[in-house]
Structure 1
Amino acid sequence: MKIRPRVAADDALLTALWERSVRATHDFIAEDDIQRLYPLIRDSYLPALHVQVLENPDASPAGFIATSDNTVEMLFVEPAQRGQGIGRKLLDQVRRPGLKVDVNEQNPKAHGFYRHYGFVDCGRSATDGEGKPFPIIHMQLQDR
């Protein structure tokens, strides 16, 4: 498995992976929100962020990580491949002192994953960045 930068031709596959992952892990998000976010992920977010793709041997994406400045904006793994170290490999690719991530409070597995990796809670917001009632836990990577 190799990690490489995203190219524009990846966007449809990465957005489909995003949708599968969200459906598997974000049961608190309504269908309307998924449908509204889908074209934004594909057409706006992916092109605007620094995205790294971890490829399977057949060149299909196993997961991807998107960063902006010193913040992990997205980390999604193919649902059938969760628990195989893909998220850790992607985080290792972008690891740097003070790296930050926001996690949905209603996604305790993701919160636990980031805590296990070395992030610590450093704040909480009652709503997400769009003002929706999805509490967010703000986390920051602690130096080893």
Structure 2
Amino acid sequence: MSLDLQIRPYTPEDKSRLLSIWRAASEIGHPFFSNDQLNEQQKVVGEVYLPQAETFVAEHDDAPVGFIGMLGHFIGGLFVAPEAHGQGIGRALVTYVLERNRALELDVYALNETAIGFYRRLGFVEVERRSTDDNNQPFEVIRLRIDTE
């Protein structure tokens, strides 16, 4: 089932709700992180990524239900409120940014099989793997890419 969505640019007023979405989705998608690690990442998302990335917010009934953060053609993060999973929000956000870019890339944790399956269904393919994440933690990361050319 697909929701009636509006996608719009991030505003600072979105920060609190988007951090709540980020936290709830991260606890599901990244259960291998400790609470302390999630707390630290949440701080970075709020202080660095939301203000510095080109972030788009998906709204349903005037309330944010998901967001995607872009760093050029790189998806820095895609998060959907868990209660809205499976309703086409993630697909709509990826489609929205793909229409504005010829190609997209992203990194996903190898342990996040749900996300990997989601991106593969959209047509992303693996282009690289590395044994540690950006924080040099021993979590394998997969680089995925989609090209519309």
Please classify the TM superposition score into its range, dividing by the shorter chain length.
over 0.9
Structure 1 portions without partners, runs of 5+: none
CA–CA separation in structure 2 for the residues paired with 1:26 and 1:91: 20
* 1:48-94 CA-partner distances (Å, limit 9, x unpaired): 0000000011x221100000011000000000110110000000110
Q: What's the CA shift string for 1:12-48, capped at 9, x where partnerless?
A: 1101110011112211111110111122111111000
1:3 corresponds in structure 2 to: 7
Residue of structure 1 equivalent to 2:120: 115
Match of 2:110 in 1: 105
Match of 2:67 in 1: 64
| Counterpart AA for 2:135 | E
1:1-144 to structure 2, matched below 5 A, reads 1-57=5-61, 59-95=62-98, 96-143=101-148
Provide TM-score, normalisation by structure 1: 0.95
Let me know the Cα RMSD of the aligned residues: 1.0
Give the fraction of aligned pairs with identical amino acids, expressed as a percent.
34
Which stretches of structure 1, 4 residues or longer, exceed 6 Å deviation after superposition?
Answer: none
| Mapped partners of 1:20, 1:34: distance in 2 | 10
Q: Is the 8 A contact 1:120 1:142 kept in 2?
A: no
- In structure 1, what residue type is equivalent to 2:35? E
**Secondary structure, counterpart of 1:140 in structure 2:** strand
Deviations 1:80-125 (A, max 9, x none): 1101100000001100222101110000110010011010000101
Kindly tell me the number of residue pairs found equivalent between the two proteins. 143
